[in-house]
Amino acid sequence: RAIDAASVNGEIFINVAGFGFDVDVLEMTRYYKGKIRGRMAYILGLLHALLRLRVHRVRVHDGTSCTEEEVLLVAVGNGRFIGGGMQVTPLADPTYGLLDICVVNRVRRFGVLRFLLRFINGRHLDMDFVRYYQAEQLEVDAADGLALQMDGDICGRMLAALRVLP
C-alpha cells in the first residue's frame, strides 16, 4: 500500500526522526557494539545514557505555535517504533498525511525508569511531562547543536525542518 514519507532538511526518512535521549542511546550503543555483539550492546547503551541523563533547551515551532522548553527527547514519527519495538509515537499512521510529535520534557532520574517502562509499550502519552500532537511540519532548533537521528542513523547536528510528504 502507499504510505507517506517524511523529510528533515530535504533528506527522506520513513519511520521516526528524533533528538535527545534516543540519540544518546544510539551513540552509546555504537560505542558498545565495537566491544560486544548482540542485544547486550543496546542494553548497555541504554544504561549508559540513563546514567548521564541530559536535557536540552530547544525551540519547537509547528507552524501555529512556538515553544522553548527543556526536553529529554523530541520524536517526530511517520511510523510508531524505535529501538527494536519501543512505541515512541504509538498513534502514528503513515497513511494520513500528518507527523506525530512526542515531546518529553525534563524528567527526574527516578521518573525516567517509570517513563521507560511505559514508553516501551506506547503507554506514556498521559504522563504529565509528555506532550503529543500532530502537524504537517515542524522546526526544531537547539543552541547546543543537538544531534539528530533519522530511522536509527545519527545524521549530525543542525536546525531541523521536518515535514510530511503525503
Q: What is the DSSP string of 23-91?
A: HHHHHHHHHHHTT--THHHHHHHHHHHHHT---EEEEEE-SS-EEEEEEEEEEEESSSEETTTEESSTT
Query: Using one digit for the tens of pLDDT, what is the confidence trace for 36-86?
Result: 988 899 889 989 999 999 999 999 999 899 999 999 999 999 999 987 788
pTM value is: 0.93
User: Do residues 161 and 8 make contact, with C-beta atoms less than 8 angstroms apart?
Assistant: yes
Q: Quick one: how far is CA 43 from the chain centroid?
A: 18
Percent of the chain, pLDDT > 70?
A: 100
User: Do residues 55 and 68 make contact, with C-beta atoms less than 8 angstroms apart?
Assistant: no
Query: Is residue 5 very low, low, confident or very high in pLDDT (cuts 50, 70, 90)?
Result: very high
Query: Using one digit for the tens of pLDDT, what is the confidence trace for 19-50?
Result: 999 999 999 999 999 899 888 998 899 899 99
